[in-house]
Structures are given as C-alpha cells and as structure tokens.
Structure 1
Amino acid sequence: MRNYLKDGNLKIDNNLAENAIRPMTLSRKNFLFCDNHEAAENTAIICSLLATCKAQEITPREWLNDVIAKLPYYLEKDSGKDVRELFPDVWKLEKSNTNTSGV
C-alpha cells in the first residue's frame, strides 16, 4: 500500500468485477427515466450485445455490419437458420473457423 501512497500514478485494480459492470449499471439506472418501456428494453438488449462484443474482443462495428447484412436471410420463414448464430460469441467462433478454413 505504501507504493500507492508514494506514486499517485499507480493504478489500483483490486475491483475488476465492479469496473467491468459499471457501464451496464449506469445504463440500467438511466433506463429508469425512459418514457417508453419498449424503447428501454430494446436499448438494454443492444447494450448487452455490445458488452458481449467487448468481452469477446470483437469490434462492435464489424459485428453489427455483418449481422445487419445477414439478418434478412435469417428472418425468412423457410431459411432454417437460427438467429442465435448471430450472437457475438457464436459469430466470433464461426468467423474464426471461416478464416482458418479459407487459408
């Protein structure tokens, strides 16, 4: 602890879990003041997906561009595709498999 007192530039990272959930907690607090319940739910879903991208070390823009381009094909009735394949963690696995098999 003395090192932290001597040098104010040292970072104390003893609460990584709290630091990881802080953005979501602040967002949840802000959703309390949303006029439309459906909009608050949709925003919470988007924030969760973007937080998953961050946890999976995925560029959110790359993921969103790819998912938005693929989504119409997943929404067709007879496509037989599962929308869960577009979740960030599954998307990352599929993308890494595609990159390794294409080389």
Structure 2
Amino acid sequence: MDVFGQLYDIERDIKDKSSAERKEARQKLAKPIWENFGRWLEENAGLIKENSAIYKAFAYTMKRHKRLSVYMENGMLNIDNNPIESSIRPIALGRRNFLFSGSHDGAQRSAMLYSFMGTCKLHGINPMTWMEDVLKRINTHPSDKIHELLPPNWKKLQEETLEEKQENTILKTA
C-alpha cells in the first residue's frame, strides 16, 4: 500500500493547474485514497504490538489523520512543507557557525546577509549579481528610495531598465 507515493503522484500531475483545479482533483483523487488509508489504520492498529516503533507511527498518523488532509480542502496549500524546510536549511546548517561570528553585531550582520541571499534565491535573482550592483549604488542611491534596492524591488527595476534599453535600441535602429 503505497499511499504516500500515490498522493505525491497526484500532486505531480496537478502542480501546474489552478488552485481551484487542484482542490477539485484532490477531492476526486486524493481524498478517497486518504480515507481508505485511515480505515486501514483503524482496522490494523490492534494487530500491532504496543510500544513498538510501528505502533507509535500508527498512533501518530491516526491522531493527526484529519489534520494531515487539510491540504485537500484548499488548492493553494502544498501537500507538505518541503519548500519552507529547504529555505531554512542554510540557517540550520549555519547555526554552529554563528557561534563564531565574533560578536552579537557580527551575528546580526550574518543573519541579515543570509536573509538577503535567501530572498534573492526566492525571487530567482543571482545573489552575487544583486550584491555587486547594490554595493556599487548604495552610497549614491537616494535614502528615501532605499527600498528599491531590496531584492524583489531591485529585480523589477532591472527588468524596467532592460525594457527601456531595448526600446531605445529599437528607436535608434528605426
């Protein structure tokens, strides 16, 4: 009984659909699988030796069965929290390194850099390209517009600048 494999196969098939279509597909395809799994857990829980690891897994899943199906009611939710866990992984891995930041201020600066790098990655920006450009501009950029240098705003500014350059090139060649 590969319940989780089946559920993830469904998610793979519907990942590019709208949230309404994902909800509909989950209701039609995933919900019956999950409900059957819940019944199977209840029917077989008594057959397993208490205090065993498998019994603990059964009890854990049975206790949370309803809450684990919440994603089926909302097409905007993911089946798991893997994207979030992946985004905080560098923080977890770097935690030991933060002990050697030299000072509280050094640790704050490291955390700020990690945050900027994570935000860049989240928005599909090369962190080094962003940092090089921002470091060149930051001293001359108007302080009341410093928010323009934050990664998502910076990306939008870059795209607008590129469009302007392309338009100017077209006008010059016309």
In structure 2, distance between residues paired with 1:89 and 1:67: 13
Map 1:79-94 to 2 at 5 A. 79=142, 81-94=144-157
TM-score relative to the length of structure 2: 0.45
- Equivalent of 1:24, from 91, 108, 114? 91
Aligned to 2:46: none
Q: 1:59 aligns with which of 90, 112, 126?
A: 126
Query: Is the contact between residue 87 and residue 118 of structure 2 (CA under 8 Å) also seen in structure 1?
Result: no
The question of whether the paired residues in 2 share the 8 Å contact of 1:49 and 1:88 is answered with yes
Of all paired residues, the percent bearing the same amino acid is 32
Unaligned runs of 5+ in 1: 5-12
TM value normalised by structure 1: 0.72
Of 119, 138, 144, the match for 1:71: 138
Structure 1 stretches of 4+ moved >6 Å: none
Q: Cα deviations across residues 10-67 of structure 1 (Å, max 9, x unaligned)?
A: xxx9533212221123334542454400000001001100111110110111111110
Number of residue pairs matched by the alignment: 91
* Equivalent residues of 1:53, 1:59 under 8 A apart: yes
Higher relative contact order (CA 8 A, sep 6+): 1
SS of the residue 1:73 aligns to: coil
Q: 1:36 aligns with which of 86, 103, 112?
A: 103
The more displaced of 42-51 and 29-38 is: 29-38
1:31, 1:40 within 8 Å by CA — same for their partners in 2? yes
SS in 1 for 2:139: helix
Structure number with higher helix proportion: 2
Q: Are 2:123 and 2:151, in contact at CA under 8 Å, matched by a contact in 1? A: yes
Larger Rg: 2
In the TM superposition, what is the alpha-carbon distance from 1:90 to its structure 2 partner? 0.4
Alignment gaps of 5+ in structure 2 = 6-78, 167-174
Instruction: Kindly provide the amino acid, as one letter, of the partner of residue 27 in structure 1.
Output: G
Residue type matched to 1:101 in 2? Answer: E
Aligned residues of 1:28 and 1:44 also touching (Cα < 8 A) = no
| Residues 99 and 23 (structure 1), Cα distance of their counterparts in 2 relative to 1, 3 Å cut | same
